[in-house]
Chains A and B, each alone.
Chain A
Amino acid sequence: MSIMSYNGGAVMAMRGKNCVAIASDRRFGIQAQMVTTDFEKLFPMGERLFIGLAGLATDVQTVSQRLKFRLNLYELKEGRQIKPKTFMSMVSNLLYERRFGPYYIEPVIAGLDPKTFEPFICSLDLIGCPMVTEDFVVSGTCSEQMYGMCESLWEPDLEPEDLFETISQAMLNALDRDALSGMGVVVHVIEKDKITKRSLKARMD
């Protein structure tokens, strides 16, 4: 039994033209059994910054809460919103503190710079190794399926509406090939002046 696939789950983020999108499934299960279909895996960490956490469900909740705590202190001390790249380093630091007894999660981050609105996406492994990409990042029990979907569907400079369609199809079809992920999809599209949150109608099996 693998700890990373005990609860199942999937998150991904994509970069578009002056926008980013982040998506997750909604399943919380215990091995093969589904328990609920409304489990949050995407968490706002700033006006235009989201983190998505896939992996062991208890750590998804603990890490998001502890991260928010550190972020709140940062914002109080600095008097401003955190930049996505700096936030990535904060996450990396939090995870590496537990190098020899890690949190069993692999996060993805998506957001826009608070001043320049430059789009940014990255992912990290469970001990905090950061990886910044120009196209997409995926994490979860169906990461291979998600890589396949993203590699074929993604293209650069997608407008927000097209980016939404692309990330939605990539998620839906990857999740259908994983027994431990699914039960609905949540997609957030982050632009300079608005964030659009949508729930997709998905297979509930």
Chain B
Amino acid sequence: MSATRSEEVQTGTTIVAIEFDGGVVLGSDSRVTARDSVVNRVMNKLVALHPKIYCALSGSAADAQALAELTSYQLQLHSLEIEEEPRVGAAATLAKNTSYRYRDELSVNLIVAGWDRRGGGQVFSTLSGALLRQPFVVGGSGSTYVYGFVDTAYRPGMSREECQQFVLNTLALAMNRDGSSGGVAYLVTIDQSGAQEKVVLGNDLPAFFDK
């Protein structure tokens, strides 16, 4: 991954995505920083590539937005060509291809997650231009603080509500520890019937020990 450029606007960030039987839950914080200054405290980093496929942005704000828009365009074109709803894997592959080709210029990590008819709920990580399907993924600068938590809290076969709580807990912990993450938590739950977006404000987030 290329190094952080000096005054560039970073999305700092904590992003999470997790699969459940029948769908996925994506979550993100809402802080955008330029060095130490918070330039946006309510940015939604969960972007729709397609009605039932979302991606979570992290890294350089400009790179992430550009990659998401390009991938969204390519996905729409692909969907018209195959005359079908696109697969989540296809969206992830498109994001990965651009991410890999320009890996020396871009500083971005996109988590792609959604629902399709053939595979159900799927989560893909496209870190550094690789493509990996995983039951859950965390990303962004805040993710380093919650690897221990997610590894302990995750159990296979969690329900939709348990997954939503898992995402909220992960975000709350990371937002507390990481200076570059904070604000509100955005959640998107995607299943066969579509995507539901939700905002959880700061004071409604789960609280853990912090004296």
A binding-site residues for B, Cβ under 8 Å: 5, 8, 29, 31-34, 36-38, 141-142, 145, 176-180, 183, 203-205
Q: Which residues of B contact A179 (CB under 8 A)?
A: 12, 31, 33, 36-38, 179-180, 182
Contact residue among A33, A145, A180, A204 (Cβ-Cβ distance under 8 Å from B145): A33
Q: Which residues of A contact B198 (CB under 8 A)?
A: none
A32-B141, A32-B179, A145-B37 are known; give 13 further A-B pairs, CB within 8 A.
A32-B12, A33-B177, A36-B211, A37-B210, A142-B37, A176-B41, A179-B37, A180-B36, A180-B179, A183-B210, A204-B176, A204-B210, A205-B202
Q: Is B71 an interface residue (CB 8 A)?
A: no
Q: In the A-B complex, list the 6 residue pairs whose CB atoms are closest, starting with the nearest.
A: A205-B182, A32-B179, A179-B179, A205-B175, A177-B38, A37-B210
Cβ-defined contact, A203 with B202, below 8 A: yes
B161-193: which have CB < 8 Å to A? 175-183
Interface of B, helix, strand, loop or mixed by DSSP: loop
Most buried by A among B179, B180, B181, B211: B179
Q: Within the complex, what minimum Cβ distance (angstroms) separates A126 from chain B?
A: 18
User: Provided the pairs A34-B176, A179-B12 are in contact, do residues A203 and B37 lie with their beta carbons within 8 angstroms?
Assistant: no
Cβ-defined contact, A32 with B182, below 8 A: no
Cβ-defined contact, B41 with A177, below 8 A: yes
B binding-site residues for A, Cβ under 8 Å: 12, 29, 31, 33, 36-38, 41, 141, 145, 175-183, 202, 207, 210-211
Q: Which residues of B contact A141 (CB under 8 A)?
A: 36
Cβ-defined contact, B36 with A38, below 8 A: no
- Using CB atoms, name the residue of chain A closest to B208: A204
Q: Which residues of B contact A178 (CB under 8 A)?
A: 36-38
User: Provided the pairs A183-B210, A204-B210, A205-B182 are in contact, do residues A34 and B177 lie with their beta carbons within 8 angstroms?
Assistant: yes
Q: Which residues of B contact A36 (CB under 8 A)?
A: 211
Cβ-defined contact, A34 with B41, below 8 A: no
Show 28 residue pairs from A and B whose CB-CB distance is below 8 angstroms, ordered by the A residue: A5-B36, A8-B36, A31-B179, A32-B180, A33-B145, A33-B179, A34-B176, A34-B177, A34-B178, A37-B211, A141-B36, A142-B37, A145-B37, A178-B36, A178-B37, A179-B12, A179-B31, A179-B33, A179-B37, A179-B179, A180-B36, A183-B210, A203-B202, A204-B210, A205-B29, A205-B31, A205-B175, A205-B181
